[in-house]
């Protein structure tokens, strides 16, 4: 399995906006000038005719930057609908809770949420998450050096999900391949669609089997879930399982990379954390505020509405800038500084309101277990001084492509 993960290059999961290192100065300028900004596509080179770039949208498009207005949009999901996700994500994933509005969303989320409660997760920590982390670290702990993205953060969450789903060990390699191909959608749409179909065919007999003979895993939980006499049908389960790949694998591999990057580039804070693990919780929250793995989400205005003094027409596309909200200076002192000693308050990296990330407790647990293991097992961990300028990049999804490190073995 390691071979497969290492054979894939994380940079394949390309960003159509190119190699953006630091979008934050532009986001801050935009937030200060217009907390709700109408995007003028006349000034942007869009990809009309070029299938690799987004085409000019038919409706008005806005971006929302301030913490206050981002929260307002995400809280009011009657006015700001999630249905726009159906056009892109829906084709690949199927009809998922991400694209549902109320009351369908509330009802459906109630069915799947049972498996993601913090208490339920405790049973996965030692046997699944810590075991996965230790297996990966075993592969390089004796070497004195590693490239932590390829050898650690990239393969880590997909293996956790495979175990949580209770997939047979001999299937891990193909599951990982389909997962990586599905989330590399911007690199190859046809391949992503083929993987989406392959995943459905693969899950079908497993779901059948878990319905008749449930065991202690997430697919069994979903197959058995019942609320007010309703259950999930097969297509709903397949869609949810596919959603876990972009929602639960891509975000977490990136946030774990961002966490390690933040610590490695702030060695004094890494040492403070190594010495006092009670700082772990706020270090994770500060990482999520400072460098969220996902910078933008979207909504569609379901009616004419006034937002931040701007008249927004029904049908408008709303880009919601989680990254700009997390660095809003009216909310955070010195927002561009990574500081694990601050109280990051309510960052927006997991969204807000009814669609608040369902996997946030799992994501936090994975980041904590990963950081604990590396701090415990790799003494004197530091960036490789001969390494090739590792940095976080991306405009929609953000994380480092490489993290070359050395340590005492």
List interacting residues with ligand HEM (CB under 6 A): 82, 97-98, 109, 243-244, 247-248, 251-252, 255, 292-294, 297, 349-351, 355, 357-359, 362-363
Residue 245 or 406 having the CB closest to ligand HEM: 245
Q: Tell me the sheet residues that pair with 226.
A: 231
Q: How far is the CB of 51 from ligand HEM (least distance, A)?
A: 25
Q: How far is the CB of 244 from ligand HEM (least distance, A)?
A: 5
Phi, psi of 120 (to 5 degrees): -60, -35
Residue 82 or 269 having the CB closest to ligand HEM: 82
* H-state helical runs in 34-130: 67-75, 89-93, 104-113, 118-124
Q: How far is the CB of 100 from ligand HEM (least distance, A)?
A: 7
Nearest to 115 by CA among 166, 177, 182, 173: 166
Q: How far is the CB of 189 from ligand HEM (least distance, A)?
A: 21
Residue 279 or 357 having the CB closest to ligand HEM: 357
Q: How far is the CB of 112 from ligand HEM (least distance, A)?
A: 7
Residue 335 or 354 having the CB closest to ligand HEM: 354
Q: How far is the CB of 293 from ligand HEM (least distance, A)?
A: 5
Classify residue 179 as left (phi > 0), alpha (psi -120 to 50) or beta: alpha
Residue 71 or 184 having the CB closest to ligand HEM: 71
169: how many CB neighbours lie within 10 A of its CB? 9
Q: How far is the CB of 367 from ligand HEM (least distance, A)?
A: 7
Residue 156 or 332 having the CB closest to ligand HEM: 156
Residue 151 or 326 having the CB closest to ligand HEM: 326
Q: How far is the CB of 74 from ligand HEM (least distance, A)?
A: 6
For ligand HEM, which residue has the nearest CB? 359
CB within 8 A of 278, min separation 6: which ones? none
Residue 300 or 407 having the CB closest to ligand HEM: 300
Render the burial of 34-67: b for 16+ CB within 10 Å, e for the rest: bbbbeeeeeeeeeeeeeeeeeeeeeebbbbbbbb
- What whole-number distance in Å separates Cα of residue 181 and Cα of residue 118? 30
Give every strand in the sheet of 36-38, ordered side by side.
36-38, 61-64, 317-321, 296-301, 80-81
Tokens 């480092």, residue located: 400
- What whole-number distance in Å separates Cα of residue 122 and Cα of residue 338? 29
Classify residue 13 as left (phi > 0), alpha (psi -120 to 50) or beta: beta
């Amino acid at each position: 399995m390691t071979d497969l993960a290492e054979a894939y290059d994380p940079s394949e999961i390309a960003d159509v906006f190119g190699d953006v290192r630091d979008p934050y100065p532009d986001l801050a300028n935009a937030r200060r000038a217009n907390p709700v900004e109408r995007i003028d596509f006349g000034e942007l080179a869009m990809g009309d005719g070029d299938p690799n770039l987004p085409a000019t949208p038919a409706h008005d498009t806005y971006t929302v930057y301030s913490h206050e207005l981002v929260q307002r949009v995400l809280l009011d999901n009657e006015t700001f609908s999630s249905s726009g996700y159906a056009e892109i994500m829906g084709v690949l994933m199927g009809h998922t809770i991400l694209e549902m509005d109320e009351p369908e969303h509330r009802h459906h989320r109630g069915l799947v949420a049972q498996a993601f409660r913090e208490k339920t997760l405790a049973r996965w920590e030692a046997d699944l998450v810590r075991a996965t982390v230790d297996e990966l670290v075993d592969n390089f702990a004796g070497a004195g050096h590693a490239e932590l993205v390829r050898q650690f953060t990239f393969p880590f969450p997909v293996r956790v999900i495979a175990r949580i789903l209770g997939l047979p060990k001999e299937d891990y390699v193909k599951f990982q391949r389909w997962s990586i191909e599905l989330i590399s959608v911007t690199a190859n749409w046809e391949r992503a669609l083929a993987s989406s179909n392959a995943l459905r065919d693969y899950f079908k007999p497993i779901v059948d089997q878990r319905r008749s003979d449930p065991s202690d895993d997430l697919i069994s939980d979903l197959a058995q879930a019942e609320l007010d006499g309703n259950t999930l049908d097969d297509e709903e389960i397949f869609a949810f399982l596919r959603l876990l790949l972009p929602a639960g694998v891509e975000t977490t591999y990136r946030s774990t990379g961002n966490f390690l990057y933040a610590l490695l580039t702030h060695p004094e804070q890494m040492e403070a954390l190594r010495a006092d693990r009670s700082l772990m919780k706020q270090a994770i929250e500060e990482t999520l505020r400072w460098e969220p793995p996902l910078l933008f989400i979207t909504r569609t205005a379901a009616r004419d509405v006034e937002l931040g003094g701007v008249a927004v027409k029904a049908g408008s596309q709303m880009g919601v800038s989680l990254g700009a909200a997390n660095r809003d200076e009216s909310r955070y002192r010195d927002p561009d500084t990574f500081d694990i000693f601050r109280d990051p308050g309510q960052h927006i990296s997991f969204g807000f309101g009814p669609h608040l990330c369902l996997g946030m407790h799992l994501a936090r647990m994975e980041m904590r277990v990963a950081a604990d293991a590396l701090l415990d097992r790799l003494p004197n961990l530091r960036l490789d001084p001969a390494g090739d300028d590792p940095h976080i990049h991306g405009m929609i999804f953000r994380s480092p492509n490489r993290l070359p490190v050395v340590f005492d073995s």
